[in-house]
Amino acid sequence: MLGSKWTARNKTEGWRHFQVANRKQEGPWVFAELVASCDPTVRFWINAKQLKNLSLWQAGWQPLTQPPPDDLEEFQY
């Protein structure tokens, strides 16, 4: 788990790509500390089981497939 890379399905604290920096066990639960790949000041702990939820996370750094912001659609060339 340590060092594994993850892509959030939705922006999380402004970012989508994360890496597991730390792991801790509290009783029967395992937690992972995720760090944003582009901003190491963005860090948070989650229950590691959440990483198996495909509606929330994808393993690896996946390409982003979001529509462009509205203001780019109106840009005149």
- The reply to whether 69 falls in a domain is no
Name the domain count of the chain.
Answer: 1
- The reply to whether 74 falls in a domain is no
- Using pLDDT thresholds of 50, 70 and 90, give the confidence band for residue 66: low
- The reply to whether 67 falls in a domain is no
Give the angle 61-62-65 at the CA atoms, nearest 5°. Answer: 140
- The reply to whether 66 falls in a domain is no
- The reply to whether 31 falls in a domain is yes
Range of the domain at 16: 5-58
| pLDDT tens sequence across 16-48 | 999 999 999 999 999 999 999 999 999 999 999
- The reply to whether 39 falls in a domain is yes
Residue 72 phi/psi, 5-degree rounding, is: -75, -30
